[in-house]
Every structure is written in C-alpha cells, then in structure tokens.
Chain A
Amino acid sequence: MQAAVAIPVAPAASVVGKTAISLKRLKKTFEDDEGNVVEVIRDITLDIHDGEFISIVGPSGCGKTTMFNIIANLLEPTSGEIVLRKARPRGKKGSPIGYMLQRDLLFPWRTILDNVTLGLELAGVPKAERYDKGRAYLSRYGLGDFANAYPHSLSGGMRQRAALIRTLITDPDIILLDEPFSALDYQTRLVLEDEIVSILREFGKTVVLITHDIGEAIAMSDRIAVMTQRPTMVKTVYDVGLSREYGSCLKARTDARYQALFDAIWADLDIQLGGK
C-alpha cells in the first residue's frame, strides 16, 4: 500500500513546472583503440524544471562522467542537443552551468577568500567589491573566520562548502553536482547534504546531482532519473520531494516512502555481482 503512495506519477505540486534545460536525444559514442565504435550513451531525453533538484542515478560504469561532461558543456555529444530555456542576461560572463565535483578544486596557493572570489576576479570585478561579496558569503555560511586561511587548514566538509560558494558567487542558472560528497566521511556527508540543499534552495537554483548513492539521491531530490546499464538510456523518472516536504534531508531518510523508493530504484538498477 505504502509503496503505491511512494511513487506518484504526477509532478510534485511544490515544484514550479517551467523547463530550465532540455536534454534532447543525447547520444555519445567513442572509438576504442582498435577503431571499434563504442556506444556509451544511447539516448538521454530529459526536461529539467526550473528550480528543481533532480538526481541522475545509474549503475556504476553507466557513463555518468560522460554525462556530466556533456551537460557541463565540456564534451560535445555525438548527436542530440542541450537547450537552455532561460536567456542569459547580456554581459554576464562564465558558463550558465556551474559545477561542483568530488574534489573541491580549491587552489592551494590562494586563501579561501581569494578562492571563492575567483569567478568575480575573472570577470574583472574590482578587488574591494569582490572581497566584500566574498566575505559576506563566507560569514553567512560559517566560514567567516577562515577567509584568510589556506585550503589545507580546512576540513574536507569546509572545503566543499567553500567550493560551493565559489560556484554560487558567479550566479549560474544551473548547478551540476558530481558526487560532491563521496570523499567525505558519513557524518559530514549527512550534515553537508542538508546544508547544500538548503543553500541551493535559498538561491532558487536548478540543481542536477549525478550520483551512484541511491539514499543520497532520495534524501535530497525532487525527482530522480534512473539510468540503464551501458549504453545508457533514461529508464524511469521518480517524483520524490521528501526533503522539500520535511525541510531536511536527514528527516527525509526517516520517511516510510524512503525505503519504498530505495527498493524500487534498486530493482531498476538491476545490479548483479560477479560478471554477466
């Protein structure tokens, strides 16, 4: 009975429905050393709504990194296209898609303040102005005391927070997260999940999380797109919205629907150990 409740087909009411970005029939093939064509991604068609938090979950080796690179505009798809619905304001520099990886990518030779204001510096914002903005962001997210520290003196969780601020400060329309927590210990991870979801929600960002962690996806997302094995296609899209309902990822994990969704997604992934 509860399993049936857990998977509503209609979009969650809390999510505003306008499309932010459309992935249309994305396909990616590579050529291996012997010249054979390897199909990594067969067809990804997905509409991502404005302001939603969507997770892409797939079995390991399903081409998540390839997918990330295509959405982040680092790699051209073999065919298909990505359509951004929102017109980018004139004179705005940088990609409309910001991202955050497993590794924080902070420059060890820069202070935290200089790291988080990197995007503003590149856009030519005067020093005083970008420092003011950087300090405001840092103190708002609990890193105020570390503005002049170097990255090596911060914990992994703090560094990831700094990396998120660096991404947010240039105001991208869409934020792409690629397993941003997998290098952190479990406790830090749970805390940071909550933090990041609430920060991103506060900014009204559209977020795409690429992960293999089913629990994390359920706890954080409004929707989850489950991928097939290689060659990758979209298998099922689930509406979740638990963290939005509870206002906390940690509480979302206690809901009865959490387990039901977990089981359903696990079944979808069709993971078998020990070869084919």
Chain B
Amino acid sequence: MSAVTSLDTPVPRKKTVSERKRRARQVLLQDNLARALIVFLGFVLWQVGVNQKFIDPFLMGEPRGIALEAWRMIETGQLLTDVVATVQATITGFLGGSILGSLCGLALWYARRLARILDPFFIALNSLPKIALAPMIIIWFGSGIFSKIALAFIATFVVSLLTAYQGSHQIDANLVNMMRSLGATKRQIFAKLVIPATMPWIISAFRLNIGFALIAEVGGEFIASEVGLGHLIFVNGNLFNLNAVWVGVLALMIVAACLYLFVTRIEKRLFAWAKH
C-alpha cells in the first residue's frame, strides 16, 4: 500500500533543482567564510608578531597602521581619486587595445599573405615586455593619463591581435568547405563562421588582457605620474611609509579582482551555448 502511495506522489523535480542550487550556495558561503577567516587570522598573527617585537613594523608595516592609513586616505578622498585614475586609464586602454586588436586580427583572415609577412613582427612585439616602451611613451604623451592609456593599449593590442589571428586560422577547413558548398561568399563565411568561431579566443584574450593592462598602467605610474595607485605605492615606498604602500597594494588587488570578475561574467553571458 505504501508503495502505491509513493508511486502516486508526483516527483517534485523543480524543487530538487532549486534545492541543489541552494545547497551549492551554502557550500560557497562556507568556503567564503573560511577564506575570510584565513585573511583575518593572517592579520591577527601579523599584528601579534609586531606587538611581540618579532616583526619590525618599519620594514613590514603593521595591520593597525594600515587600517589607520587607509581610513585617513578614504577620509581625505585620496584613495578614491587614485583608484578612479588607475581604473579609468586601465579600462580605456584595455577596451581600446583589446577591441581594435581583435578587429585587426580578424581582418587578417582576409589577407592571408599580409598576415604571413607580418607574422614575425607580431611575435617580436608580443615577446617584448611592453613596459620597456614606457620611457618613450611618457616622452610622447606626457606624465598624465594619456601615457597610461597608451601603455595599456599597446600591452593589450598585440595580445588580442595575435590571439584573434591565430584563432581565425584554426577553423576546421571542413566547416569552410561546408559553407562553400551551401553557396556562401567569402564575406558570409567571415561573418557567420569566422567571427563566431573566433569569439571564444577573443574573449580569452580579454581575460588575459585585463591583467596586462593593469601591469602596464601601474608600471607607467611608477615611472612618471601625478595620481593613481601606482603613484601612491611608488611615492610612499620612497618615503618608507610601508603602511601606505600596503593600502595601495591591497586596493590594487581588489581592483584587479573586480575587473577580472567583470570580464569572466561577460564571458559566461556570451557563451551560454558552450555550457554543459
């Protein structure tokens, strides 16, 4: 009898799905709590070490000093100004370089011969540490935001160009032939096959580029600047104000993580078809 009743009961499918989701969220919450605990414990140990004179706060900084310094910078608005300056230059250079680079890389699919001729130059440019160009860029564009944008642009442009170009050349020849047998023109093959097939490559370059853009931008700030997190770190480092340096470093970490998350979020949204 009980077997019959259980058969009659409709299986609550929706509920199990939402339950699984809830469970996943719970696990994530627990993981995040553990992570927060690690950070907290680290700071506590650091502070205890300083208090017990194991750690020299002049050379290493100390959590309480960092907190006070951060609070001061937030109050004066300096931290916000620096964060905004760095983020602005990074994002502008990143978007410009990545988008233009991807377009140029895709366009090279059309011009096979030109691509072949230019190939060694791309490789050379790609292997060059872009920060080596900073002194020149600063002479050309000044010590303001434009030189930082230019640096982030160059750092990302070459990566995007190479990735898009390589991606578009790894498309299965069978797919191209199939399009052709259906009567596709070269332009149609480009628009309906090459661009979408290269998209995952382009976006993965975006993910790398957000890091490269930040490196180039902060490097530029180290060399010559008036604002920005790089400026903050560099100036305070010269003054041996380690607590302020830590504020800059931590802020930079948070900025980098946020930018990375932002790009991966977009990636997920764009490639719903790829999920399993």
Binding site for B on A (CB under 8 A): 72-74, 93-95, 97-99, 101, 103, 105, 107-110, 118-119, 121-123, 150, 152, 166, 170
A-B contact count (CB 8 A): 59
Cross-chain contact A97 with B181 (CB below 8 angstroms): yes
Residue with the highest number of chain A CB atoms closer than 10 Å, among B179, B192, B271, B273: B273
Check: B177 CB closer than 8 A to any chain A CB: yes
User: How far apart sit A119 and B179, CA to CA, in the bound complex (Å)?
Assistant: 8
Closest 7 CB pairs of A and B: A94-B183, A93-B183, A119-B182, A95-B181, A150-B273, A122-B184, A109-B196
In the complex where A103-B174, A107-B193 touch, is A152 in contact with B276 (Cβ < 8 A)? yes
Q: CB-CB < 8 A to A93: which residues of B? A: 183
Cross-chain contact A123 with B174 (CB below 8 angstroms): no
User: How far apart sit A107 and B200, CA to CA, in the bound complex (Å)?
Assistant: 13
Q: CB-CB < 8 A to A101: which residues of B? A: 174, 178
Check: B180 CB closer than 8 A to any chain A CB: yes
Residue with the highest number of chain A CB atoms closer than 10 Å, among B172, B179, B183: B183
User: How far apart sit A94 and B181, CA to CA, in the bound complex (Å)?
Assistant: 6
Q: CB-CB < 8 A to B174: which residues of A? A: 101, 103, 105
Known contacts A97-B181, A109-B271; 20 additional CB pairs below 8 A are: A73-B181, A74-B180, A94-B182, A95-B180, A95-B182, A95-B183, A98-B181, A99-B178, A101-B174, A105-B175, A108-B273, A108-B274, A109-B199, A109-B274, A110-B273, A118-B179, A119-B182, A152-B273, A152-B276, A170-B183
Contact bitstring B169-197, A, C-beta under 8 A = 1, else 0: 00010110111111111001000110011
Q: CB-CB < 8 A to B199: which residues of A? A: 109
User: How far apart sit A31 and B178, CA to CA, in the bound complex (Å)?
Assistant: 26
User: How far apart sit A101 and B273, CA to CA, in the bound complex (Å)?
Assistant: 23
Q: Interface size (B, Cβ < 8 Å)?
A: 22
For the complex formed, measure the closest distance between the CB of A253 and the CB atoms of chain B, giving whole angstroms: 30
For the complex formed, measure the closest distance between the CB of A76 and the CB atoms of chain B, giving whole angstroms: 14
For the complex formed, measure the closest distance between the CB of B222 and the CB atoms of chain A, giving whole angstroms: 42
Q: CB-CB < 8 A to B183: which residues of A? A: 93-95, 119, 122-123, 170
30 of the cross-chain contacts (CB-CB < 8 Å) are A74-B180, A93-B183, A94-B182, A94-B183, A95-B180, A95-B181, A95-B183, A99-B181, A101-B178, A103-B174, A105-B172, A105-B178, A107-B175, A107-B193, A107-B196, A107-B197, A108-B273, A108-B274, A109-B199, A118-B182, A118-B192, A119-B183, A121-B192, A122-B179, A122-B182, A122-B183, A122-B184, A122-B185, A150-B273, A166-B182
